[in-house]
Amino acid sequence: MSVEVRTVPADLPEVDALLDAYLDEREATFPAAQGAYSRKRTPAAEFTPPTGVFAVAYADGVAVGCGGLRRIADGVDESGSTDVRFEVKHVFVTPTGRGAGVATAVMDHLERAGADLGATGIVLDTNDSLVAAGAMYRSRGYQRVEPFNANPNATAWYRKAVR
């Protein structure tokens, strides 16, 4: 499978379809012990340059994955300096795209975009029940940090320095 990742407007029909599938899957697989899944979609406007981007991965012209990047409030990095933060949101790969490097290609694209937009840190939150996602983030150099938001679906927060 040949994968091409492109920055697209976040209000395209294929983005809506991917995000609906993402939210449906998360709701259906959310750990019951953690309560009800909070079904929330980031507004498309937050994924508009220069404060964000949205990426879709295509395989043979079919949308098979996506992810967004948006500017959030500055933080403080491990050295005590101001951290210009961008947050990864809604990384999703369709069942047909899984195992083909789609998530890696989307993350590569989003991290490059963050660097181009001036990020010094890229952050994300996830749920520990998403074992493969957590492993991928850690393998990319993301390190667990204290919570930076109040996402009720999240159990783990990560940051990666942008060099």
* Residue 17, both tokens: 């379809």
Q: Rounded to two decimals, what is the model's pTM?
A: 0.96
Using DSSP bridges, classify how beta strands 62-71 and 52-59 pair: parallel, antiparallel or unpaired: antiparallel
Contacts (Cβ under 8 Å, ≥6 apart) of 32: none
| Dist CA 82 CA 161 (whole Å) | 12
- Can you say how many angstroms the Cα of residue 13 is from the centroid of all Cα atoms in its chain? 19
Residue 110 is predicted with a pLDDT of 98
Give the pLDDT confidence of 86-143 residue by residue, as tens digits: 999 999 999 999 999 999 999 999 999 999 999 999 999 999 999 999 999 999 999 9
pLDDT in tens, 41-60: 999 999 999 999 999 999 99
Structure tokens belonging to residue 137? 């983030």
Catalogue all structural domains in the chain, each as residue range(s) with its CATH number. 3-119 (3.40.630.30)
